[in-house]
Amino acid sequence: MNVSQALKVYFVMGSVNCLNFDPEKTLSEAIKGGITMFQYREKGEGALVGEEQVYLGKKLKMLCEKNRIPFIVNDDIDLALELNADGIHIGQDDSDPFYTRKRIGATKWIGISTHSVQEAKKAVADGADYIGVGPMFSTKTKKDAHDVVGPFLITQIREAGFIHLPIVGIGGITVENASEVYHLGANGVAIISAVSQAKSPKDATQAFCSIQ
């Protein structure tokens, strides 16, 4: 699977995002529903740290590996290495992209969060394999989220002409608004709450997978 295919229905989650089921059950249902990539994002108030964070990460990585779902770690290079993740996702204020590349190696994927054409351009120069663009819509999940940029920014990044990286939209994405994100040029959608807090993460994922 290449990175643009993997972005199509990209489920992002940590233990604090799972309200109805535990993280393993939530991920396993999302996998049954058809997610194409997973990001372990153990962040926010009440997030696991240390050995507990690693322990849950190992269980989620095993689930992904068994089902051939690429497994990405948010922000933490040491954790990504320890879990032998397929890649790492970094924000604008996280580790330096060149340092990250040096530590994780040439074959792993690096995703970089961006909020403007300028940041997208820089992510290309910094060696990203894909870029995240957000927030597409307002989100309650990330307390320190940037102001909403809206899906049209994806079109603007595409039209800028020099950015040929795969793009995933993130932030406030639901089954109802995801098609707009695809239509405006995204290769995929990254989702936390619309899957992790769904009554049925499997059904919610299936609904995302059927959108074109």
Residues lying near ligand 3NM in the complex (CB under 6 A) are found at 113, 132, 134-135, 139, 141-142, 145-146, 170-173, 191-194
Instruction: Give me the torsion for CA of 8, 192, 12, 198, rounded to 10°.
Output: -90
Return binding residues.
39-43, 74-75, 94, 113, 139-142, 172, 192-193
51 vs 147, which CB is nearer to ligand 3NM?
A: 147
Q: Is 113 annotated as catalytic?
A: yes
75 vs 161, which CB is nearer to ligand 3NM?
A: 75
Treating both helix axes as pointing N-terminal to C-terminal, what angle do 201-209 and 23-33 enclose, rounded to 10 degrees?
30
Does residue 54 sit in helix, strand or coil? Answer: helix
Neighbouring CB atoms inside 10 A of 77's CB total: 18
Q: Tokens for 26, please give them.
A: 């939530």
CB 134 within 8 A of CB 168: no
Closest contact distance (angstroms) between CB of 39 and ligand 3NM is 9
68 vs 136, which CB is nearer to ligand 3NM?
A: 136
Q: Is 179 annotated as catalytic?
A: no
Please work out, in degrees rounded to the nearest 5, the angle formed at the alpha carbon of residue 33 by the alpha carbons of 86 and 112.
35
Closest contact distance (angstroms) between CB of 60 and ligand 3NM is 17
**How many residues does the structure list for the chain?**
212
Residue nearest to ligand 3NM (CB): 134
Looking at the annotation, which residues are catalytic? 41, 113, 142
